[in-house]
Amino acid sequence: MAQLPVPLEAEEGKTLVAYLRRKRYTFTHTPNETGHTPEARRRAIRMKQQGTSKGFPDYTIILKRGGIAIIELKRVRGSATSPEQKEWIAAFQAAGVPARICRGAAESIAFIEEVENAV
């Protein structure tokens, strides 16, 4: 039996965003992706000059209980986490901010619900 294709990170992101909007969260996605064209390289230089940091997590979510949660979203299978991404997640966690590398929208949603229900 053939395996179903693994959704791309962008598709997982759309699912997560739909959930966040449906639940009326305030959130943002940090677009660190730049690409490989000459214009993309110029954009990457401008972003770095303006303070964009390599590996900064994808989603910052304001929690209903107060505070924020941070998510670095990955595909369920087939994507790697960079050292910089791991460092950012660890830095947020060390600061007491719930932060996690999540594989797919379902894991991201479960993380948000876990944090919201924590006492």
Quote the tokens at residue 36: 């490989």
pLDDT of residue 1: 61
pTM of the model: 0.88
Q: How far apart are CA 107 and CA 42, in angstroms?
A: 34
Burial of residue 38 (number of CB atoms within 10 Å: 0-12, 13-18, 19+): exposed
Q: How far apart are CA 114 and CA 119, in angstroms?
A: 10
pLDDT of residue 51: 85
Mapping DSSP to helix (H, G, I), strand (E, B) and coil, where does residue 8 land? coil
Mapping DSSP to helix (H, G, I), strand (E, B) and coil, where does residue 118 land? coil
The single residue listed with the structure tokens 């954009």 is: 43
Among the CATH numbers 3.40.640.10, 3.40.50.11440, 3.40.1350.10, 3.40.309.10, which is that of 9-117?
3.40.1350.10
The single residue listed with the structure tokens 């959930």 is: 19
Quote the tokens at residue 88: 């950012």
In order along its 119 residues, the chain shows pLDDT tens digits of: 667 788 888 999 999 999 999 999 999 999 877 677 888 888 888 888 888 888 999 999 999 999 999 999 999 988 899 999 999 999 999 999 999 999 999 999 999 999 999 86
